[in-house]
Structure 1
Amino acid sequence: MNFFRTTLLLAAMTGLFMAIGYMLGGSGGMVIAFIFALGMNVFSYWNSDKMVLRMHNAVEVDARTAPEYYEIVQKLAQSAGLPMPRVYLINSDQPNAFATGRNPQNAAVAASTGLLNRLTYEEVAGVMAHELAHIKNYDILTMTVTATLAGAISMLANFALFFGGGRDREGGGLGIVGTIAIMILAPLAASVVQMAISRTREYEADRIGAEICGQPLWLASALAKIANAAGRTVNVTAEAHPATAHMFIINPLSGQKMDNLFSTHPDTQNRIDALQALQGEWYGGQAPLKVSSGVTLGASQRRAQMRQDEQIDGPWSGGSAGGRDDEPDQSGPWG
């Protein structure tokens, strides 16, 4: 159902692009718009990851420069049966993350410094499992193509101001009113389609991400922390490139909280509720969400412990999350 709906939405966005071309240049304009859209999609297919990562000034890291972060992605990729993606770090205090690329063999994940500093090891694992789920589902290609088309539609709508006003096109004309309408309504329609595509993918990525790490509440706890901090922290690069907002695990832009037509993401509490319900299905009890009080990923104590005894709680060692003896075994598929 998600695939069918996404296909329809992408077709609608392509049709909108061609319709604007027709209004600006008749049949010839429609053909040119279609060729232009096709060319942009081919370009984005091969260069989408580089484009998005460059927009957000992401820096590639490895096992030497970011050992804990890299290890999390490596172990999760193995659990998911995916090739190891390239791993990037974004210098931003806002906790957030995204995945990009054209397929699992050419994929990348990126997390902000704010995410690694504010979340626990287990919560970071939940977030990165979500991003790997996007890679596994090929959502990264769909969302990148959508972002490219949305940007192209906005650009084409702006052309209407210079080339569309007052000209007759095969028996009709846009006129100044029609031109202004295109400039306003076309980008708005593209944004609605873009947001709808993103929303169809987030719940599924949450579910599959929970399966990859074996711990629905790790991601639920992370979502609560990220949403709380993101609303108070401005992501400057995301604000400069709003077409990429739907790629993040939580909307990085301000003023998007409601679960409605104009939100790039489902309501965070709805996502948490779904993960808690999944927890109940798997482990026989819908435990209330508890934000972990563990040590954050960037702490020196955690690094020392990892390197000396490698006694990591959760799926890394096959034990329960947080290492509490009174909890049921929740090791999931890695136990």
Structure 2
Amino acid sequence: MRIFLLIATNLAVVLLLSIVMSVLGLNPGRNGDMQSLLIMSAVIGMGGAFISLAMSKWLAKRSTGAHVITQPQNEVEQWLYTTVRRQAEKAGIGMPEVAIYDAPEMNAFATGMNKNSALVAVSTGLLQQMDRQQVEAVLGHEVSHVANGDMVTMTLLQGVLNTFVVFIARIVGSVVDGYLRGNSREGGPGIGYFVATFAAQILLGLGASIIVAWFSRRREFRADAGGANLAGRGSMISALQRLGGEQGANTLPKEIAAFGISGAWGKLFASHPPIDERIAALRGGGA
């Protein structure tokens, strides 16, 4: 889920920054200044990625309605808080915020700008349908994402991809605009430039999202190994087997439900590898 949030927010922020730059008349590529275009693309691309990261924890809380545990109110909250604290100490990171959100599916996520200011959240469905050892493994998986710096690493990757998306999209816009307008350069960029640029940016952005999703799938194996190290390999495998029995039943929060994709295209955008591959990696000595 955190990957859908990051990708969706990133696309929105980058498009917004692009529109603002265009409205302000900052379109250096239209006049052939490639160096200025590359600098502007990097500002939009990297800026959009890191703005998305900065918003990730707030957006995740808002979209799921997560309740952050500040003072445990019952035995379950106390156990969750204590377990995450123990795992965070073992992983060498600062204590994350711990939250529970109301959802029927078994799910959990971690997000945040750095290792010492993260959020780990679990669904009520996870707590109800898994035993304590399985939940502990899931928590270990999420804490490992934080310890591995996955959100920051993926943000850097997204920023680089954004830069090239913005850069190439504006070149495409200039070529299309030049073709439509011939030798005329009066009055600045024409409508062809803006339409072609934004169309190319959306299409290239989706292509970049496929690369980010592929990278995310690679990081899941490492987080599984981390979860096995923190909670035990048997518990991690058991948790994955339990999740495997519920494949296809997940429902995303309504704010991001439109980004759910199924079928052949879904495999390209999937942020997680198949459960059986993850279990096989753990059984092969991945932890």
TM-score normalised to structure 1 length? 0.60
The alignment partner of 2:246 has SS state of helix
- Give 1:219's aligned residue: 236
Q: Please give the per-residue CA displacement for 1:181-200, whole angstroms capped at 9, x wherever unaligned.
A: 72663133112111122022
- Give 2:40's aligned residue: 32
| RMSD of aligned alpha carbons | 4.1
Aligned sequence identity (%):
28
- Give 1:114's aligned residue: 125
- Give 1:68's aligned residue: 79
- Give 1:96's aligned residue: 107
Q: Distance in 2 between matches of 1:25 and 1:265?
A: 42
Which residues of 2 match residues 1-335 of structure 1 at below 5 A?
Answer: 27=34, 28-65=36-73, 66-144=77-155, 166-168=176-178, 182=200, 185-213=203-231, 215-237=232-254, 239-240=256-257, 242=259, 253=260, 255=262, 261-278=268-285
The alignment partner of 2:177 has SS state of coil
Greater shift, 82-91 or 42-51, is seen at: 42-51
Indicate how the Cα distance of structure 1 residues 41 and 234 shifts in structure 2: closer, same or farther if over 3 A, else same. closer
Q: Please give the per-residue CA displacement for 1:46-72, whole angstroms capped at 9, x wherever unaligned.
A: 443223333332221145232222222
The alignment partner of 2:100 has SS state of strand
Q: Distance in 1 between matches of 2:28 and 2:106?
A: 43
Q: How many residues align?
A: 248
- What is the one-letter code of the residue matched to 1:167? D
> Contact conserved, 1:73 with 1:128, CA < 8 A, in 2?
yes
Q: Distance in 1 between matches of 2:55 and 2:100?
A: 19
Indicate how the Cα distance of structure 1 residues 39 and 140 shifts in structure 2: closer, same or farther if over 3 A, else same. closer
In structure 2, the gaps of 5 or more residues are: 1-13, 19-26, 184-189
Indicate how the Cα distance of structure 1 residues 177 and 39 shifts in structure 2: closer, same or farther if over 3 A, else same. closer
- What is the one-letter code of the residue matched to 2:245? N
Indicate how the Cα distance of structure 1 residues 99 and 62 shifts in structure 2: closer, same or farther if over 3 A, else same. same
> Contact conserved, 1:217 with 1:276, CA < 8 A, in 2?
no
- What is the one-letter code of the residue matched to 2:80? Y
The alignment partner of 1:168 has SS state of helix
Q: Please give the per-residue CA displacement for 1:255-279, whole angstroms capped at 9, x wherever unaligned.
A: 2699964432211101011222339
> Contact conserved, 1:93 with 1:114, CA < 8 A, in 2?
yes
The alignment partner of 2:104 has SS state of coil
- Give 2:9's aligned residue: none
Q: Distance in 2 between matches of 1:83 and 1:126?
A: 19
Q: Looking at secondary structure, tell me which structure has more helix per residue.
A: 2
- What is the one-letter code of the residue matched to 1:231? G
Report the CA distance between 1:122 and its aligned residue.
0.4
Indicate how the Cα distance of structure 1 residues 224 and 39 shifts in structure 2: closer, same or farther if over 3 A, else same. same
> Contact conserved, 2:56 with 2:111, CA < 8 A, in 1?
yes
Greater shift, 199-208 or 253-262, is seen at: 253-262
TM-score normalised to structure 2 length? 0.69
Greater shift, 202-211 or 43-52, is seen at: 43-52
